[in-house]
Amino acid sequence: MKAAVVTTLGQPPEYLDFQEPVAGDGETVVQVRAAPLSPIVRQLAAGRHYSSAAAAGFVPGVDGVGVDPDGLRVYFLFPKTPFGSMGERALASTSLLTAVPDALSDVQAAAIATGGLASWVALTRRAPPAPGSTVLINGATGAAGSMAVQIARHLGADKVIGTGRNRARLYTRDLDTAIALDDGADDALREVFAKGVDLVLDFVWGEPAARVLAAAVANRGSLSGEPRLRYVQLGTIAGDQIALRGDPLRSTGLELIGSGIGSVAIDQLVLGAGELLAATLSAGFTADVKTLPLARVKDAWAADPTVRYVLTPN
């Protein structure tokens, strides 16, 4: 079969012939129709993710949409190495498949699931928002951030605040308050936290997260107690580390948690994907997406990483 193949860690995959997957017990060979290129796929292919393979020689892709041997359209998660989703066929555990609604196209289903699963799971499993709450999305301009805005509203948030560096894209989001992370952002951040934020979804970490956290804990330490603020870490595209003082954890209601592989059981990720896809039509979820044929995987790799690309076999 044809596939994108990581021949050198840290380099774009090559479009090559690759061995065919063969299903064993509890496994399914999926005929792939749509394979998303997400930040985790880039990190894994570069050997920079905490679950990265030790060596090259594999097909990248952690999820996708395809057809099983019975002709059922499915979304699949975590195909088995070395048969990732960026090949004509992938090898998946049968338990990690969930049906795709008929009304969703392959590309839209792939884009919505890969972009929205992190926030859906975070907001249904790790930190459900109370009705009427205020949610801040740190990194609202990316594909995952855009989905998070929609999902937060669907799941009960009353106000959604978004931050991002791309001012033009930020202002296209359905936000109650948009804060561009430029020179005036720190004052704006302190203002929204002073008014009250209940939950932060952080897709970027690094310097933007340091600024958001500094604003969140400014002028705190009330003797009557500070309100609870849950800060959910979901991605590190702006940096893997930040400096964090210890006293804000004592003098504020700040709670730092993560959501992702390891903090959520894999069966819950699959259930969450099914729930998200099933809710898409009634909720009106949409995903900005661009498509390229699998043969142009290098072009997709070189494109803006904040734009969600989905690769198709043809």
Supply the pTM of this predicted model.
Answer: 0.94
Residue 314 has pLDDT above 90, yes or no: no
Residue 154 has pLDDT above 90, yes or no: yes
The predicted structure's pLDDT at residue 38: 94
Residue 16 has pLDDT above 90, yes or no: yes
Query: Right CATH number for 2-114+285-312 from 3.10.290.10, 3.90.1070.10, 3.90.180.10, 3.40.50.360?
Result: 3.90.180.10
Nearest Cα neighbor of 112 from 73, 75, 158 is 75
Nearest Cα neighbor of 154 from 185, 116, 184, 211 is 116
Q: Which residues fall within 8 angstroms of residue 84, CB to CB, at 6 or more apart?
A: 35, 58, 59, 60, 61, 62, 90
Residues facing 311 on adjacent strands: 35, 292
Average pLDDT over residues 142-158: 96
Q: Which residues fall within 8 angstroms of residue 253, CB to CB, at 6 or more apart?
A: 225, 226, 227, 228, 229
Residue 221: band (very low, low, confident or very high) from pLDDT cuts 50, 70, 90:
confident
Q: What percent of the chain has pLDDT over 90?
A: 87
Residue 199 has pLDDT above 90, yes or no: yes
Domain boundaries, the chain: 2-114+285-312, 128-258
Shared fold status for 2-114+285-312 and 128-258: no
Decide yes or no: CATH 3.40.50.720 for domain 128-258: yes
The sign of the dihedral angle between the CA atoms of 166, 113, 3, 314 is: negative
Residue 51: band (very low, low, confident or very high) from pLDDT cuts 50, 70, 90:
low
Phi, psi of 6, rounded to the nearest 5 degrees: -80, 105
Average pLDDT over residues 233-247: 93
Residue type, 82: P
Residue 248: band (very low, low, confident or very high) from pLDDT cuts 50, 70, 90:
confident
